[in-house]
Chain A
Amino acid sequence: MVRIMRWLFPGVGLLILAVMVGLVVLFNVLSGLGATNMMLTSEGLVMDHPELSGHDGDRSYRVTAYRAIQRLSDPRVIDLETIRADITLSKDQSAQIVALKGTYNNATESLRLYEGIQLEWSEGYTVDLSEVEIDLSNGALKTSQVVSIRSDQGRVVAGKLDYDKAKGIVRFSDGIKMTLNPASQGQ
């Protein structure tokens, strides 16, 4: 019995040490996140007003949130609340997304937003959708819920949308309805 305990204590000690080291690493990884203050709760590591950003070439993204909860089960996954994402797609094209809920996955550099989303696209379009998956590294968007895109030129409503930035193809499927307003400016 004693022999087991002798193993147990060092083992437990090691475990606590590992967790402590893990937390230290976690904290300075998170400091890169620029979170103002952090609390450890049962849900995970809660950060107030965190800010995440990344860029490559002229594409960049900046995601801010009211609150972010980093899952202890998988620190690469962060659940966000009341999110604002500013994505610069290219020199003259950018998109701004606001949403109530979201999940940022550091491994796949993807951001899934759901619940009350509105996306303003610099091309003069507003996109309303209930859920969207954004690949932050190349700006590809995908949604399998109804999406509507409005601009003063007209409106498109579709069952599904996926936007492949690399090939420059936007695909609306599952039924689409488009309304083109009469050309207001005469020829």
Chain B
Amino acid sequence: QTFSDAFAGFGSNDGEPIEIEASELRVEDNNNTATFVGDVLVTQGETSLKTQRLKVFYVGSGAEKTEESAVQQKISKLEAAGGVFITSKDQTAKGDEASFDMNKEVMVMTGKEVVLSQGPNVVVGNRLTVNLKTGQANLSAGNGKVSGQGSGRVKVRIQPNSVNNDQNGN
């Protein structure tokens, strides 16, 4: 349960405002997307995401335009590319790309090496799937051929006596 609430921060109905900074933003009404480019930093509460390109898809992309005006459009998906670094309290996740499905509330991070750390403990694989609602994370290394190195197994390094510290009471 070490990552239990870590990624819940990115759930779409969290109570805190989301701040996004970047060097440029392109909003394309025709295909209902908004793309942030250049040192993108997204922060919400204690969770933050750094990447180079963040594409936001809002409802209605492709589908017919809903009745409510543009203001009430909801974000349906986020895609981060060009290196992704997420931190939340003392937990971090680093990979090449990440996509957030806001309807299913699932994040998938992929990369040659997806590195998940919590304090001193490090887990490495190449595909991380996180349920944003429960925060439950599942890391896999896929078959060795894909990541091109290692036996396709997840590598874990746990610092002795670091896990049973008072991690929010559990």
The size class of the interface chain A forms with chain B is 20 to 34
Interface presence of B170 (CB below 8 A): no
B14, B24, B28, B71: the one contacting A176 at CB < 8 Å is: B24
Whether A169 contacts B26 by the Cβ 8 Å rule is yes
Q: Is A125 an interface residue (CB 8 A)?
A: yes
Distance in angstroms from B24 CB to nearest chain A CB is 5
- Beta-carbon nearest neighbor of B40 in chain A: A176
Docked CA distance A173–B25 (Å): 6
Contact across chains for B17 and A181 when beta carbons are under 8 A apart: yes
Q: Does B143 contact A (CB under 8 A)?
A: no
Question: Are A176's CB and B23's CB within 8 A?
Answer: yes
Residue ID in chain B nearest A186 by CB atoms: B13
Q: Which of A136-187 contact B (CB under 8 A)?
A: 151-154, 156, 158, 167-183, 186-187
A173 close to B24 (CB less than 8 A): yes
Interface membership of B22, Cβ < 8 A? yes
Would you call B19 and A170 a contact (CB within 8 A)?
A: no
Q: Which residues of A contact B30 (CB under 8 A)?
A: 167-168
In this assembly, does B21 line the interface, its C-beta being within 8 Å of a C-beta of chain A? Answer: yes
Bound Cα distance from A177 to B26, whole angstroms: 13
Whether A125 contacts B16 by the Cβ 8 Å rule is: no
Q: Is the CB of A177 within 8 A of B71?
A: no
Q: B71 to chain A: which residues have CB within 8 Å?
A: 123-125, 151-153
Question: CB distance B29 to A168 under 8 Å?
Answer: yes
Contact status A156-B14, CB under 8 Å: no
- Contact status of A179 and B18, CB under 8 A, knowing A151-B71, A153-B71, A186-B13: yes
- Contact of B15 with A by CB under 8 A: yes
- A156 and B18 CA atoms in complex are apart in Å by 12
CB distance from B137 to the nearest CB of A (A): 23
Q: Give which listed residue, B12, B14, B25, B74, contacts A178 with CB less than 8 A.
A: B25
User: Does chain A have a CB within 8 A of B69?
Assistant: yes
Is the CB of B20 closer than 8 A to any CB of chain A? yes
* B7 interfacial by beta-carbon distance below 8 Å: no
Contact B24 A183 (CB under 8 A): no
The one of A92, A153, A187 in contact with B13, judged by C-beta atoms closer than 8 angstroms, is A187
Complex CA–CA separation, A173 to B28 (angstroms): 14
- Within 8 Å CB of B29, what residues of A? 168-170
Query: Shortest beta-carbon distance, A150 to chain B, in Å?
Result: 11
Cβ-defined contact, B19 with A172, below 8 A: no
| Mask of A84-125 contacts with B, CB within 8 angstroms, 1/0 | 000000001000000000000000000000000000001111
Pair A180/B13 contact, Cβ less than 8 Å: no
A179 pairs with B19, CB closer than 8 A: yes
By beta carbon, the residue of chain A nearest B26 is A171
User: B27 an interface residue at 8 Å Cβ cutoff?
Assistant: yes
B146 at interface (Cβ–Cβ under 8 A)? Answer: no
With a cutoff of 8 Å between Cβ atoms, the chain A residues found around residue B13 in the complex are 182-183, 186-187
Q: B2-52: which residues lie under 8 A (CB-CB) from chain A?
A: 12-30, 36
Tell me whether B158 is interfacial, beta carbon within 8 Å: no
* Residues of B near any A CB (own CB < 8 A): 12-30, 36, 69-71, 74
| 9 A–B pairs (Cβ distance < 8 Å), ordered by A | A123-B71, A169-B28, A177-B20, A178-B20, A178-B25, A179-B17, A179-B19, A180-B18, A183-B12
Tell me the A residues contacting B by CB distance below 8 Å: 92, 122-125, 151-154, 156, 158, 167-183, 186-187
